[in-house]
């Protein structure tokens, strides 16, 4: 027994998902399996995210560290933009990454709680910028290039805005399910039919009671570009969503939009 919502045992979500996965070693089983234990594991992790004092302390410590990092950028001559936002429903980044549990989620490499990588946020903001300005992907735009950087042949430049990872200031994990109704059809074995058995796949999400902190930085003198980047990021979070399954409502944030 590794997982506990009480005291004394492992309460790092990353370790519990990636290192200490419980396996069903029943004597009558053909081989070791996690399938019978996955629903309980995800339910336990959801409870852990709401009840664990060590996890709350870790979240507070990492938030303070990020605030300190942002202040160091400020002291180094950068303008800063920070805001917090809650998911409108659920959000999951990294769902399709390699995992023994079939589904994954992007976690902090040390503390193990879910994060949204800065690279994902930068890509989202860039996609929203091109969409809102109606600029095709293969066409240059001076303002977009200045914020995000570019590479065309032998010519390249870095962007003038830094996108930090979004980290949770409050975390409420929720198990979710997607149901593959015609698995044998997708595998090319037979036509789709109602007699095929569905294959429910469980996965973990950050629920709407969570809250994430976002931060951007840019060298002083680029305040207009920083403002544009923040507006594009907020627009992307509100209208396009970040992470997996955005087409069915995941990944959107409660941000008043348009401003």
Tens digits of per-residue pLDDT, 238-247? 999 999 999 9
Which H/E stretch holds residue 206? strand 199-206
Q: What is the pLDDT of residue 2?
A: 46
Q: Are 85 and 214 in contact (CB under 8 A)?
A: yes
Classify the C-alpha dihedral 204-208-213-215 as positive or negative.
Answer: positive
Using a pLDDT cut of 90, give the percent of the chain over it: 66
Predicted confidence band of residue 36 (pLDDT cuts 50, 70, 90): low
Which has the minimum average pLDDT: 23-27, 39-43, 100-104, 106-110? 23-27
The helix-helix angle for 53-75 and 38-51 (nearest 10°) equals: 60
Q: Quick check: 160 pLDDT over 80?
A: yes
Q: Are 5 and 48 in contact (CB under 8 A)?
A: yes
Query: pLDDT for 89-145, tens place per residue?
Result: 999 999 999 888 889 999 999 999 999 999 999 999 999 999 998 887 778 889 999
Q: How far apart are CA 189 and CA 207, in angstroms?
A: 36
pLDDT at 252: 97
Average pLDDT over residues 149-155: 89
Q: With cut-offs at 50, 70 and 90, classify the pLDDT of residue 38.
A: confident
pLDDT value of residue 1: 44
181-236 pLDDT, tens digit each: 888 888 899 898 888 888 888 999 999 999 999 999 999 999 999 999 999 999 99
- Dihedral sign for Cα atoms in the order 117, 122, 128, 131: negative
Confidence tier at 29 by pLDDT (50, 70, 90): low
pTM: 0.89
H/E element holding 28?
Answer: none
Q: Retrieve residue 33's tokens.
A: 């399996």
Looking at the predicted structure, is the pLDDT value of residue 180 above 90?
A: no
Q: What value does the mean pLDDT take over residues 14-43?
A: 75
pLDDT for residue 7: 45
Contact between 175 and 204 (Cβ < 8 Å): yes
SS3 content of the chain, % helix, strand, coil (to 5): 35, 20, 45
What number of residues does the chain have? 259
* 237 or 9, higher pLDDT: 237
């Amino acid at each position: 027994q590794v997982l506990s919502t009480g005291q004394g045992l492992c309460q790092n979500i990353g370790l519990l998902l990636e290192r200490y996965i419980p396996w069903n070693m029943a004597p009558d089983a053909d081989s070791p399996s996690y399938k019978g234990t996955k629903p309980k594991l995800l339910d336990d992790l959801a409870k852990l995210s709401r009840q664990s004092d060590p996890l709350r302390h870790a979240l507070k410590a990492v938030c303070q560290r990020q605030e300190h990092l942002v202040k160091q950028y400020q002291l180094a001559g950068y303008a800063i933009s920070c805001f917090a936002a809650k998911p409108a429903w659920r959000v999951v980044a990294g769902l399709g990454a390699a995992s023994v549990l079939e589904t994954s989620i992007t976690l902090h490499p040390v503390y193990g709680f879910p994060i949204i990588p800065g690279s994902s946020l930068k890509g989202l903001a860039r996609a929203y910028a091109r969409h809102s300005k109606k600029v095709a992907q293969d066409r240059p735009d001076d303002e977009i290039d200045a914020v995000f950087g570019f590479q065309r042949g032998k010519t390249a430049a870095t962007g003038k805005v830094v996108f930090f990872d979004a980290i949770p200031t409050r975390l409420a994990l929720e198990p979710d399910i997607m149901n593959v109704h015609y698995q044998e059809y997708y595998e090319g074995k037979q036509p789709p039919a109602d007699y095929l058995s569905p294959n429910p796949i469980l996965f973990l999400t950050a629920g709407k009671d969570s809250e994430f902190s976002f931060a951007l930085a840019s060298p002083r003198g680029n305040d207009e570009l920083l403002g544009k980047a923040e507006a594009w990021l907020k627009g992307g979070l509100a209208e396009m969503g970040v992470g997996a399954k955005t087409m069915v409502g995941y990944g959107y944030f409660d941000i008043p939009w348009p401003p």
